[in-house]
Amino acid sequence: MRITRLVCGHCGDILSGLGQDKLFFCSNCGRGWSLGEKGLDPMQVQCRAPADSHLPLPFWMVRATVHVLKRTVRNEFTATMLKFGSRYEEDVLSAKKTETGGRSDRRTFLFPAFPVDGLPGTGVSLSEHIHDLPNKLGAGDPLPDICGGYISPADSVVLARCVAVGQETEKADWLAEIEIVLSSVKSTLIILPCIPEVEKVAIAETGVSFFRRSVPAWSGIIDYQSSRA
């Protein structure tokens, strides 16, 4: 395990994490920092995991305006496929499409700030439980040590769009094509208390969990947390 040692630009405390980490949380003053090409850039952070939580992990909360420019749905898709069998012809099916779009709405996305296989799916589930998160810690409350923040602020915007696409594909219709762009994007790092179970890890009280084997950095995260316990 390689540990990167950096210093908080606000209080001068040492920031630590795993070798590949790009996001740092100062457990002394509560500031957040992202590692850019020129050093550490300040970043918005909210801590919702108490200092004694077993497994505090970083997540991205991204607020954005979602513009659905075009949404094309196939009509009678199943019936058509049965009728044409393997002779799938785009020009025959093209008449059976409905195109909508041109709508915008504000959404808030929540997803891990560390790589997880199937991250957009976890993000779709987690974004439905934004109102079930534990409260922010009060001023002066002791703060936890975290590691594992690997997804940069720039990548958080890309992944928020993936989650938005995931939300569209989950609707009960035959989505054929979608064009989505995000604007007015604001990303905040959120530290949430997680609970290790047998094979899974539960994310706070959201009812959403992920398999520990689907996190490539899992053993590093566990080694880091147990060395600080």
Residue 143 near residue 27, CB atoms below 8 Å: yes
Amino acid identity of residue 195, one-letter, is I
**What's the CA gap between 48 and 201, in Å, rounded?**
17
Of 8 and 64, nearer to Zn ion (C-beta) is 8
CB of 8 to Zn ion, least distance (A): 3
Of 30 and 123, nearer to Zn ion (C-beta) is 30
Binding site for Zn ion (CB under 5 A): 8, 10-11, 13, 26, 28-29, 31
CB of 165 to Zn ion, least distance (A): 37
Residue 33 near residue 149, CB atoms below 8 Å: no
Of 3 and 79, nearer to Zn ion (C-beta) is 3
CB of 225 to Zn ion, least distance (A): 20
Of 32 and 112, nearer to Zn ion (C-beta) is 32
Of 28 and 46, nearer to Zn ion (C-beta) is 28
CB of 40 to Zn ion, least distance (A): 11
CB of 136 to Zn ion, least distance (A): 17
